Every structure is written in structure tokens, then in C-alpha cells.
Amino acid sequence: MTNIIDWLHKLEQHETKREAQHEAEHEEAPAPDGLEGKVIAALRAVYDPELPVNIYDLGLIYALDVDEAAGKVQIRMTLTAPGCPVAQTFPATVEDAVEAVEGVHEARVDLVWEPQWSKDRMSEAARLELGLL
């Protein structure tokens, strides 16, 4: 009987955590309007190949410069580790996702290693997803 009670308690904790995660994802600050908001939405649709979190909330995007009039987007980003196996191909994946946004004519991604990525850059939703809160 104790095992069942323990299991039910763990199930309740898990459900509470999932509900909090869902609320946090929907309570985050809204993306800016216009092209920048659309670009951020596109970045949130690209997931880190090793972690189940999108690259924007994971904190991999260090700088985002959107020239709405010219339809040009410049991104400075990093990866979670310099030895990441997708370091050569992932910037092109991000460029493709951003160039698919209506109004973007050109996207450029510069991969940088300084400052080094840390979990402190992650959004609250990302921390919840990974069980760090």
C-alpha cells in the first residue's frame, strides 16, 4: 500500500511540474512585433540537437539584428560546447529557418565561442523543461 501512495505522490508532483512548465511557457514575455517577432518565433522552432529545448530559450542566441526595411537578419550565436558535432552544419540550419520567415531576404549566422555558454543564459521555461528549477 505504501508503494502505491508513494507512486501517486510522485505522479502528482510530476503533473504539477508539467502544469507549471506549461504556464511558464505561455507567460514569458511576448516576442516583439513585426519582423523581429517572426524571426524569434522561427528561432524558437529550432531545437538544440542534444537537448529538448529550442535555441532561443536555451540562450544560444547572443545577438539578433533585424533590418526590417532591407529584410536582412544578422545573428550571433553559440553552441552549448565547442566540440558539438553539428558546429559545422547548425548555423546553416538556423539560417534556413530564419530565411523561411516572410519578409526575410537574407540571414547570416555567425558562430561565436565567447562568452562561453552557460545554463545561466537559459530562460525559465528552458530550465523547467530540463528539470533545473
pLDDT of res. 27: 47
H-helix or E-strand spanning residue 63: strand 61-67
So what's the pLDDT on residue 47?
Answer: 95
Element spanning 127, H or E = helix 124-129
Name residues of the chain where pLDDT drops below 50.
11, 22, 25-27
Superfamily of domain 31-123: Fe-S cluster assembly (FSCA) (3.30.300.130)
* Domain locations in the chain as residue ranges: 31-123
pLDDT at 32: 73
Q: How far from 102 is each of 19, 49, 50, CA to CA, in Å?
A: 33, 25, 28
Q: Which pTM does this prediction carry?
A: 0.74
* 3-state class (DSSP) for residue 61: strand
Rounded (10°) angle between helices 34-43 and 90-99: 140
Number of Cβ within 10 Å of residue 39's Cβ equals 25
